[in-house]
């Protein structure tokens, strides 16, 4: 029976102290590993007879600017379709050297997902066959989903912009 405790036990047997931060928010097993072994963990989850997490549901990044040295988190959502169990796997990387190994060899689906993650967060997926921007224009020279680019404050009054409901006449 594939459950969170079993997955946790198998991972600890295989990787020991390297897999950390086991949590179960809303019953989904979430854990973390160093970015150097992300492919080893994914491969193990894919191949292991008892685990067989062969469906990459989603892949994206999260930016934590205050988390010095671990600013960017790359999050993988994996799914074992037969046992219908989902897990979430995270690797953290610093924003100065955002290199993470690409999972494209394991999952064809990771190709565009990684391009999207690169496009918005600047995570450099090492080994990706075609790592270029996908949704934004190619000339863009920053990564817009990072937290240092806040959306405009709706309450600002220094703009004279009557058409949008702010400015001197309001």
Partner 1 sequence: MSDLTHHKNIRLPEGSIEKTTTTLNLGPTHPATHGVFQNILELDGERILSSESTVGYIHRAFEKLAERRPLYQITTLTDRLNYCSSPINNMGWHLTCEKLLGVRTPKRVDYLRVIVMELARISDHLICNSIVGVDTGAFTGFLYVMQYRELIYEIYEEICGSRLTTNMGRIGGFERDFTPAAFEKLEKFLAEYPKVLKEFEKLFTRNRIFMERLIGAGPISAERALNYGFTGPNLRAAGVDYDVRVHTPYSSYEDFEFNVPVGTTGDCYDRFLVRNQEMWQSLSIIEQAYKKVQAFKGTEHDVYHADSPEYYLPPKGDVYTKMEALIYHFKIVMGEIDIPKGELYVPVEGGNGELGYYLISDGGRTPYRLHFRRPCFIYYQAFEEITKGSMLSDAIIVLSSLNLIAGEMDA
Q: Tally Cβ neighbours within 10 Å of residue 96.
A: 7
119: helix, strand or coil = helix
Residue 2 in the binding site for partner 1 (CB under 8 A): no
Which residues, numbered 110-169, are part of the site for partner 1 (CB under 8 A)? 111-113, 116, 120, 133-137, 144-145, 149-151, 154
Answer yes or no: are the C-beta atoms of 121 and 143 closer than 8 Å. yes
Residue 96 in the binding site for partner 1 (CB under 8 A): no
d(CA 112, CA 158): 40
CB of 105 to partner 1, least distance (A): 11
Of 33, 35, 30, give the one whose Cα is nearest residue 98.
35
Distance between terminal CA atoms of the chain? 64
Q: Which is nearer to partner 1, 11 or 114 (CB)?
A: 114
Residue 57 in the binding site for partner 1 (CB under 8 A): yes
The two tokens of residue 104 are 């494209």
Q: Which is nearer to partner 1, 84 or 97 (CB)?
A: 84
Say which DSSP state 36 is in: G
CB of 16 to partner 1, least distance (A): 25
Distances (CA, A) of 7 to 21, 22, 28: 14, 11, 11
- Binding mask 68-87 toward partner 1 (x if CB under 8 A, else -) reads -------x-x---x--x-x-
Binding residues for partner 1, rule: CB under 8 A, are: 25-26, 28, 30, 54-58, 60, 62-63, 75, 77, 81, 84, 86, 88, 107-109, 111-113, 116, 120, 133-137, 144-145, 149-151, 154
């Amino acid at each position: 029976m594939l459950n969170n405790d079993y997955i946790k036990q198998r991972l600890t047997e295989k990787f020991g102290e390297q897999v950390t931060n086991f949590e179960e928010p809303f019953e989904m097993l979430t854990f973390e590993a160093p970015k150097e072994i992300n492919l080893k963990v994914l491969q193990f989850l894919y191949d292991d007879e008892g685990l067989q997490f062969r469906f990459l549901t989603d892949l994206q990044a999260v930016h934590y600017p205050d988390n010095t040295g671990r600013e960017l988190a790359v999050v993988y959502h994996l799914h074992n379709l037969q046992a219908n169990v989902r897990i979430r796997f995270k690797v953290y990387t610093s924003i100065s050297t955002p290199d993470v190994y690409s999972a494209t060899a394991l999952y064809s689906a990771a190709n565009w997902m990684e391009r999207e993650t690169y496009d918005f967060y600047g995570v450099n997926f090492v080994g990706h066959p075609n790592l270029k921007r996908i949704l934004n224009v190619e000339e863009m020279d920053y990564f817009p989903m990072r937290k240092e680019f806040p959306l405009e404050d709706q309450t600002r009054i220094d703009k004279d912009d009557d058409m949008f409901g702010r400015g001197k006449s309001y």
